[in-house]
């Protein structure tokens, strides 16, 4: 047992990754020299805040002897400066870790296009590089700010149920949870622990929410996104960080083998998909369930259907909850609307999201109107904080409205047939759940309502995850959305 422990320690030490710790303390020492006129080395700067509080005389020794700048207020000011510096460092490291997400968001919002693969590759490598070299002393702070940068939008849905006060509370709570997750998975600065941490992030799902998948950061890159190629990329970066001539050669080989050569050629979709109209709508969530706006929304939906029909499309796909009512109940109270959908379905297949009510249970569903027949598929994987509230029972009892607004789950994922092709149905959040892709569906039809989280980075994160699953499971994904653009994603 002793030999095994010794061997494990030696292996850990031999694969230890040089962190940014010395670089951070060197920068802090330089900043102290600028703002406090002190001449410090990195080791002194790391513990100076405690030393100043316990031994003011040491401060006199650490102060540049050529300048008499020490005063009684210096220790407290120095502590504050140290805290602000560390917070800023954690924030910068976290933002660098999230760089692939914000790079994609920048290109789509500013330039109206996807990020170039070469730049996506650089940002993906940067993200992994920052995590590998992140000092273990900084892991909680970095994890906290990663939670902020990636998931600050999670609580925004509470705005529409009269609980706006919970928005910052939920966002901070989620950030704290990711701080704890990083604290556990990045406790060591050796290769194996950091690699396992990166791989585990995609499987750790606080509140059932598994959107922090580092492999998805490579979705818009030249690198493959499966476990093997991701591991090769991490090993390549380790070899470049812990530089020796032999490791440089090994790292270069790992880097080459981590590439996905399919990304160097264009993907295509069946020509028949040109006959499918993916509709983008921009109905604000505050108007979605407004009785005054219902007729206006319904009329707009029919306008999209007629437009697709007049353009000789064979299928039109409307977003999630495009009709702000229960198609099975409410539309039958408006027989003219219901009959119109059935009649139009003789000429064009109509796919739309809407509520479904059965036995006093509410379901988030997709409806297919085709040849005067109606098919329904219920959502299986519900969105945390959007369709169910993953909070303890005592919290829900304090806010009874939360339980009333929760949806019921469907029994299993559904498939539909369109233009001779089988499509797996994914309604919003479940389209980014790996369970939907467990049997490698070739084609996926996804509908979303991103207005719940507008304005935020959520649609970009969703698109990055969809691209990841498209590449990971070799699926073509057709996505129609409200509050963001509709698109087709290829592997």
- Estimate the share of the chain in helix, then strand, then coil, as percent rounded to the nearest 5: 55, 15, 30
- CB-based contact 491:475 (threshold 8 Å): yes
Q: How does pLDDT run across 228-261, given as a tens digit for each residue? A: 999 999 999 999 988 778 889 999 999 999 999 8
Question: Is residue 323 over pLDDT 50?
Answer: yes
Closest Cα partner for 364 from 427, 278, 449? 427
**Model confidence over 337-368: pLDDT tens digits?**
778 888 999 999 999 998 888 877 888 999 99
* Residue among 98, 235, 239, 428 flagged as catalytic: 428
Residue 410 — pLDDT band, cuts 50, 70, 90? confident
H/E element, 147: helix 139-151
Q: What per-residue confidence (pLDDT) applies to 64? A: 43
- Which of 288, 379, 463, 467 is catalytic? The answer is 379
Six-digit token string for 365: 């569903």
| Domains of the chain by start residue, with CATH | 75-258 (no CATH), 271-489 (3.60.110.10)
Give the integer Cα–Cα distance in Å for 65 and 72.
17
Cα 300 to Cα 325: distance, rounded to the nearest angstrom = 14
Residue 239 is among the residues annotated as catalytic for this protein: no
pLDDT at 225 over 50: yes
What pLDDT score was predicted for residue 369? 94
Of the segments 155-159, 193-197, 268-272, 313-317, which one has the largest average pLDDT value? 313-317
* Cβ atoms 418, 467 nearer than 8 A: no
Please write the tens of the pLDDT for every residue from 207-219: 777 889 999 999 9
Task: Indicate the Cα dihedral angle 89, 92, 98, 100, nearest 10°.
Answer: -140
Instruction: Check if 428 is active-site.
Output: yes
Q: Is the pLDDT of residue 390 over 90?
A: no
Residue of 189, 320, 387, 430 with catalytic role: 320
The verdict on whether 320 is a catalytic residue reads yes
- Which is it for the CA torsion 37, 42, 46, 52, positive or negative? negative
| CA–CA distances in Å: residue 368 to residues 327, 339, 384 | 11, 14, 26
Long-range Cβ contacts of 282-290 (<8 Å, 24+ apart): 282/451, 282/482, 282/483, 283/451, 283/482, 283/483, 284/451, 284/454, 285/160, 285/449, 285/451, 285/452, 285/454, 285/483, 286/160, 288/321, 288/324, 288/449, 288/451, 289/324, 290/324
Instruction: Name the least confident of 68-82, 105-119, 271-285.
Output: 68-82
Mean pLDDT for the chain? 85
């Amino acid at each position: 047992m002793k030999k095994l422990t010794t061997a494990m320690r030696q292996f850990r030490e031999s694969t230890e990754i040089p962190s940014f710790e010395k670089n951070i303390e060197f920068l802090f020492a330089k900043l102290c020299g600028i703002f406090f006129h002190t001449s410090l080395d990195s080791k002194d700067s790391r513990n100076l805040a405690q030393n100043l509080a316990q031994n003011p005389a040491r401060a006199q020794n650490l102060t540049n002897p050529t300048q008499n700048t020490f005063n009684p207020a210096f220790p407290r000011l120095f502590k504050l400066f140290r805290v602000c510096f560390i917070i800023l460092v954690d924030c910068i490291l976290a933002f660098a870790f999230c760089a692939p997400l914000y790079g994609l968001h920048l290109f789509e919002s500013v330039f109206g296009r996807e990020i170039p693969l070469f730049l996506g590759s650089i940002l993906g490598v940067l993200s992994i590089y920052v995590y590998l070299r992140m000092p273990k002393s900084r892991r909680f702070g970095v994890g906290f700010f990663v939670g902020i940068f990636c998931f600050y939008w999670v609580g925004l849905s509470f705005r529409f149920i009269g609980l706006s006060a919970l928005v910052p509370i939920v966002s901070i709570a989620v950030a704290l949870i990711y701080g704890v997750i990083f604290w556990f998975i990045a406790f060591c600065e050796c290769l194996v622990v950091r690699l396992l941490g990166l791989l585990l992030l995609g499987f750790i799902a606080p509140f059932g929410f598994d959107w922090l998948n580092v492999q998805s950061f490579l979705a818009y890159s030249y690198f493959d996104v499966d476990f093997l190629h991701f591991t090769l990329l991490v090993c390549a970066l380790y070899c470049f960080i812990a530089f020796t001539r032999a490791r440089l050669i090994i790292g270069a080989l790992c880097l080459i083998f981590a590439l996905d050569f399919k990304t160097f050629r264009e993907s295509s979709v069946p020509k028949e998909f040109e006959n499918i109209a993916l509709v983008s709508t921009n109905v604000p969530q505050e108007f979605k369930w407004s009785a005054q706006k219902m007729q206006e929304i319904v009329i707009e939906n029919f306008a999209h259907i007629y437009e697709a029909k007049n353009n000789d499309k064979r299928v039109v796909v409307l977003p999630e909850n495009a009709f702000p009512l229960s198609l099975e109940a409410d539309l039958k109270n408006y027989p003219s609307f219901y009959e119109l959908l059935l009649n139009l379905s003789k000429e064009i297949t109509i796919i739309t999201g809407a509520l479904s009510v059965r036995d006093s249970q509410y379901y988030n569903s997709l409806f297919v109107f085709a040849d005067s027949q109606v098919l329904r598929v219920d959502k299986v994987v519900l969105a945390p904080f959007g369709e169910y509230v993953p909070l303890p029972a005592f919290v829900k009892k304090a806010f009874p409205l939360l339980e009333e607004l929760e949806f019921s789950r469907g029994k299993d994922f559904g498939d539909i047939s369109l233009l001779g092709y089988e499509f797996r149905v994914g309604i919003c959040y479940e389209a980014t759940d790996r369970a939907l892709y467990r049997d490698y569906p070739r084609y996926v039809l996804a509908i979303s309502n991103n207005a719940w989280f507008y304005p935020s980075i959520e649609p970009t994160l969703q698109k990055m995850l969809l691209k990841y699953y498209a590449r990971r499971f070799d699926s073509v994904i057709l996505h129609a959305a409200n509050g963001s653009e509709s698109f087709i994603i290829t592997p």
